[in-house]
Structure 1
Amino acid sequence: MTNDAPTKRQIRRWQRNLVDERLEADVYRDLAAKASDEDREILLALANAESRHEEHWLLLLGEHADGARRSFLRSHALGWLARHFGGVFILALAQKAEARAKYDDDRDATLAMAADEHVHEEVVRALAERGRTKLSGTFRAAVFGANDGLVSNLALILGIGAAGVSNSTVLLSGLAGLLAGAMSMGAGEYVSVRSQRELLEASEPSETTARKLPDLDVDANELALLYRARGMSPAAADAHAAQILNNYSSSTRLADPINAAEFESHGTAWGAAWSSFCFFASGATVPILPYLFGLQGLAAVVVAVALVGMALAITGAAVGLLSGAAPLRRALRQVAIGFGAAGVTYALGSIFGVAAG
Structure 2
Amino acid sequence: MNTAPSARDIRRWRQYLADERAEAAVYRDLAGRRTGEERDILLALAEAEGRHEEHWRKLLGDNVGKPGRGGLQARMLRVLARRFGSVFVLALAQRAETRSPYSSDADATSAMAADEQIHEEVVRALAARGRSRLSGTFRAAVFGANDGLVSNLALVLGISGSGASNQFVLLTGLAGLLAGALSMGAGEYVSVRSQRELLEASNPAESARDAVPKLDVDANELGLVYRARGMSAADADARAAEVLRGHTFGDDETTAPDDHESVGTGLGAAAASFSFFASGAIIPVLPYLFGLEGYVALAVAAVLVGIALLGTGVVVGLLSGGPPLKRALRQLAIGYGAAAATYVLGLLFGA
TM-score normalised by L of structure 2:
0.93
State yes or no: 1:283 paired with 2:280.
yes
State yes or no: 1:334 paired with 2:334.
no
Contact 1:204 1:255 in 2 (8 A): no
After the TM superposition, which of the residue ranges 62-71 and 168-177 deviates more from structure 2? 62-71
Contact 1:224 1:241 in 2 (8 A): yes
Contact 2:28 2:42 in 1 (8 A): yes
Q: Which amino acid aligns with 1:111?
A: S
C-alpha distance in 1 between matches for 2:124 and 2:296: 46
After the TM superposition, which of the residue ranges 225-234 and 256-265 deviates more from structure 2? 256-265
Residue 126 and residue 258 in structure 1: after superposition, are their counterparts in 2 closer, same or farther (change >3 A)?
farther
State yes or no: 1:253 paired with 2:262.
no
C-alpha distance in 1 between matches for 2:183 and 2:216: 53
Post-superposition CA distance 1:38-94 (Å, at most 9, x none): 211111111111111111112212344337743575444322221222121111111
State yes or no: 1:86 paired with 2:85.
yes
C-alpha distance in 2 between matches for 1:325 and 1:66: 36
Residue 324 of structure 1: CA displacement?
0.5
Note the aligned Cα RMSD (angstroms). Answer: 2.0
The match for 1:350 is 347
The match for 2:112 is 113
C-alpha distance in 2 between matches for 1:344 and 1:71: 47
The match for 2:56 is 57
C-alpha distance in 2 between matches for 1:143 and 1:18: 38
Contact 2:151 2:281 in 1 (8 A): yes
Which of 246, 258, 261 is equivalent to 1:264? 261
C-alpha distance in 1 between matches for 2:182 and 2:79: 37
The match for 1:306 is 303
C-alpha distance in 2 between matches for 1:220 and 1:118: 52
Q: Which runs of 5+ in 2 are unaligned?
A: none
C-alpha distance in 2 between matches for 1:116 and 1:309: 40
Give the length in aligned residue pairs.
Answer: 351
State yes or no: 1:202 paired with 2:194.
no
In percent, how many aligned pairs have the same letter? 64
Which of 309, 313, 318 is equivalent to 1:316? 313
Aligned residue for 1:150, secondary structure, equals helix
Contact 1:200 1:259 in 2 (8 A): no
Aligned residue for 1:212, secondary structure, equals helix
TM-score normalised by L of structure 1:
0.92
Q: Which runs of 5+ in 1 are unaligned?
A: none
The match for 1:131 is 130
Contact 2:185 2:270 in 1 (8 A): yes
Residue 264 of structure 1: CA displacement?
2.3
Post-superposition CA distance 1:161-190 (Å, at most 9, x none): 122222221111111111000000001111
The within-5 A match list for 1:18-97 is 18-66=17-65, 69-70=68-69, 74-97=73-96
Residue 66 and residue 295 in structure 1: after superposition, are their counterparts in 2 closer, same or farther (change >3 A)?
farther
